[in-house]
Structure 1
Amino acid sequence: MAEHVPRRRRTLQDVATDVGLSANTVSRALRGQSGVSEATRERIRQAAERLGYVPNVHARSLVLGSHRTIGLVITNVSNPFYAELISAIELRAAEEGYHIVLFLSEESPARELAAAENVIQSGLDGVIVVPVQGPTNPWRQVARAGMPFVVVNRRLDDLAVDTVATDNYAGAHAATAHVISQGARSIVMLEEDLTITTIHQRIQGFRDALTEASLPCDDSQILMVPTRRQDRVVLPWQAGDAYRMTVDLLSRGHRPDAFVVGNDYFALGLYRALRERGLRCPDDTFVVGFGDYPFAEFLDPPLSTVRLPAAEVGRTAVELLLQRIRGDDPPPTEPILVQPELVTRSSTGV
């Protein structure tokens, strides 16, 4: 069962009310000052831990009012989707008088944990998070502390938290259905090997489109491209990995009618592998990407791709977070899925 997210940050007064003592006594106990018995000190400590209360290093600012500052935890700023997302969040937050503090996780659980701890202690008004989805979930503690936060792009199914994401399932389904409508019958997908919900959703959209068209779909048609996100901070993907996997596929005598790739960078490597084998796109095979990054329309041939609504995702996330910060009635915690757009160009014969 998903854990309930408190409506607001836990305060010193919450702890005092819970144990039936004054806020002054609770404050002295938590700061280790004299005049509080050990038994009472322990009872206060346990109550603070149970409630998720964390002493705020910016307590004076909280007394005076809001910091008007929002945290933003992103996995990789060189990802064009996240670059646009950051810009949209910053612009919308600025319209409401809020500043942004950026934290980078680089898909590292350790860095994500450090970011979560900083978020709790920094006195931010709220935080927008792209979770790593690693073996642990540090955002549980943020939720217990009452910090308003919104998850974007990925999901945390064990927390009842507001989520805004691109409908990756719909995007992959539309891309696959498009090449099927163009006559493709044998189709291969190139995807990242990260175990995150966005990739799972794209793979499912690919599978379902094939099944609905009564076309074969087995694991051999889904090639998981090694990602460099966990050991590189420059680019989230490497076109060379997709190139090598495509060369290997073609060298084994398999030439699909179409390729659906999880991001446009993979298409760069795929195009090169096709050219080296004397194959032409779209005459010999179709290619459709994901992302509609700035270079997509300038490739030869221009790349059909799924345009991601990063700006809309960002603006929607800010709106939800501000509702939480203001203490408005909580919006539905069902994920909000923003629809992508299939952009057709010459790589699929259109």
Structure 2
Amino acid sequence: MSPRRRPTLRDIALSLDLSVNTVSRALADKDAVSPETRERVKGEAERLGYVPNTMARSLVLRNAMTLGLVITNPSNPFFARLISAIEERGRERGYSLMLVVTEDSAENERRAAEELMRWGVDGVLAIPVQHGAEHWRRLRKSGTPVVLLNRHLPELDADVVGVDYYAGARAATEHVLDSGARELYLVEEDLDISPVSERIRGFQETLAARGIGAPDGAVVRVDAPEGVPVSAPFDPGAAYAIGADLARRAGRGAVVLAGNDYHALGLYRAFTERGLRVGVDIGVVGHGDHPFSAYLDPALTTVRLPAPDVGRAGVDRLLERVRSGAVDTEPIHTLLAPELVVRASAGPLRRGER
């Protein structure tokens, strides 16, 4: 059986003995068509199951009313909230969203850029892999503006809208120091991406500014499990072994800052299994404020990230570029402030060596 042919404007016109031009104007609610004819045309379009061909319309108008979103890992809760905010803001402005997932692969990202160029989207929001920028340059050269989200790409002079991870790390570190802790550790992903490097910089520079020396191995990197893509969902188990080691060598009253709340989960289990009470004997601070964070025992002190605000601001910036046609003007970097959410997991702590 051959597939059912999609109804066209011509089918409606033939059925009603009208011209294609009249049918088109009626469906577009143009004044040149009487209300009676407009009602007949819309009724017949509904009967036939007619749906406007958006791609054909975009070729005529040279405006696809579609935004591309290139993302590394939709299972990351931050990115999931980001996607929702982008889709909602785009819909408010009359735009559809074309989502492409790269799994943090440079080759997948190159193909994504080429695919979006072929589809002729109006603009692209991208969380870059951070390895290579030539495909983004080609996309911009074709007249398609690109706005980077949440990660910097020094090789590309493009707008960036993201989170101020440096400020978030400083706020968390300062809070812990203000509570009296002097032995601090930072557990971070072993990824060469700007959010990680900015959190490490914020942690280290805050300690230095307070004149506090970091213990040996203060920054501990979490390796991704072998054979698992770096874009896979965060695994609490990846931080569990690190927590077991820190439970042996950290003094009573030490605090461990985690680069995400899932790693904080792994630390909780490692510490409690070894007889350490989180929030009493050892402190933990997370990053992300995922829904489970407030329900841990004790509730997790963490850094709340403004994912919806980043998504909305990214769409607004991109559409400013689309409207102005200014693809290569001076880039604008906008970093939105995170919020430290203080709960019970980081103190008050008893100090002193075990």
TM-score, scaled relative to structure 2: 0.78
Give the structure 1 partner of residue 121 of structure 2.
124
- Return the index of the structure with the highest Cα Rg: 2
Name the CA shift for 1:233/1:185 in 2 (closer, same or farther; >3 Å). Answer: closer
Give the structure 2 partner of residue 317 of structure 1.
314
Q: Give, in whole Å, the separation in 2 of the partners of 1:229 and 1:155.
A: 27
Give the structure 2 partner of residue 63 of structure 1.
60
Name the CA shift for 1:260/1:137 in 2 (closer, same or farther; >3 Å). Answer: farther
Bigger shift: 248-257 or 281-290? 248-257
Shift of 1:285: 1.3
1:78 aligns to 2:75 (yes or no): yes
Shift of 1:142: 1.4
Q: Identity rate of aligned residues, in percent?
A: 47
Q: Give, in whole Å, the separation in 2 of the partners of 1:95 and 1:117.
A: 27
Give the structure 1 partner of residue 6 of structure 2.
none
Which of 233, 246, 251 pairs up with 1:249? 246
What 5-or-longer segments of structure 2 have no aligned partner? Answer: 1-54, 349-354
Name the CA shift for 1:137/1:262 in 2 (closer, same or farther; >3 Å). Answer: farther
Q: Give, in whole Å, the separation in 2 of the partners of 1:333 and 1:213.
A: 34
Query: Cα RMSD over matched residues?
Result: 2.2
1:347 aligns to 2:342 (yes or no): no
Deviation by residue 1:201-243 (Cα, 9 ceiling, x = unmatched): 0000000111111111366100000135983488432111100
Which of 156, 160, 165 pairs up with 1:159? 156
**SS in structure 2 at match of 1:160:** coil
Matches within 5 A, 1:1-350: 61-134=58-131, 137-217=134-214, 220-227=217-224, 231-232=228-229, 235-252=232-249, 257-327=254-324, 333-349=331-347
TM-score, scaled relative to structure 1: 0.79
Q: Give, in whole Å, the separation in 1 of the partners of 2:116 and 2:227.
A: 22
Contact 1:229 1:237 survives alignment (8 Å): no
Shift of 1:329: 6.2
Deviation by residue 1:52-108 (Cα, 9 ceiling, x = unmatched): xxxxxx787333341100000011001010001000000000001100010001111
Q: Give, in whole Å, the separation in 2 of the partners of 1:292 and 1:106.
A: 23
Q: Give, in whole Å, the separation in 1 of the partners of 2:194 and 2:231.
A: 23
What 5-or-longer segments of structure 1 have no aligned partner? Answer: 1-57
Contact 1:227 1:236 survives alignment (8 Å): no
Name the CA shift for 1:229/1:126 in 2 (closer, same or farther; >3 Å). Answer: farther
Give the structure 1 partner of residue 29 of structure 2.
none
Q: Give, in whole Å, the separation in 2 of the partners of 1:310 and 1:88.
A: 8
Bigger shift: 225-234 or 82-91? 225-234
